[in-house]
Amino acid sequence: MRTSARLFVFACLYLLALPAATFAAESFIAQSPKNMDWFAAKNFCESKGAKLPLVNNADILTKADKGMTVDGIGVIGDKWSSELDGSKFYWLGTAPTPAPHRRAYVVGTSRGAVRVSETMSGGESGVVCVPK
């Protein structure tokens, strides 16, 4: 087999081995070096001309099912392929529920897969900002 043909075959095999979607740190406009509450995270991203990631690009989250995309992070239920630290949780842009509960959403991993969870908006989580 000629060298060019071998390189072509190798390149095709390499591309087939890549995950269907790879979400790299380049998809983020900014990342805070420290954790903060949801309101500070939202303000941080807005000050950078960006927004917090959304699930399926929706401002209101009624459910977070497998197969839904989280901006810049990955697909719920799929392998965590982001370059972000998989041991942390990151705020999502979905507005918190009204008082007294003030629940908000975060994204992180569960057994290596992308997972969305509910938490208190006053707690602290990681912050990444995606393009508006």
Tell me what pLDDT residue 13 has: 35
Q: Which domains does the chain have, with CATH numbers?
A: 23-131 (3.10.100.10)
102, 108, 113, 117 alpha-carbon torsion, rounded to 10°: -10
Quick one: pLDDT band at residue 8, thresholds 50, 70, 90? very low
Tell me what pLDDT residue 3 has: 55
Helices (H), the chain: 3-17, 38-47
Tell me what pLDDT residue 126 has: 93
Tell me what pLDDT residue 125 has: 93
**pLDDT tens per residue, range 12-64:** 333 333 343 344 445 788 888 899 999 999 999 999 999 999 998 887 777 77
- Residue type present at position 126: G
Higher-confidence residue of 11 and 1: namely 1
**pLDDT tens per residue, range 57-103:** 887 777 778 899 998 888 999 988 778 888 889 999 987 777 667 78
Query: Encoding tokens for residue 86?
Result: 């998989």
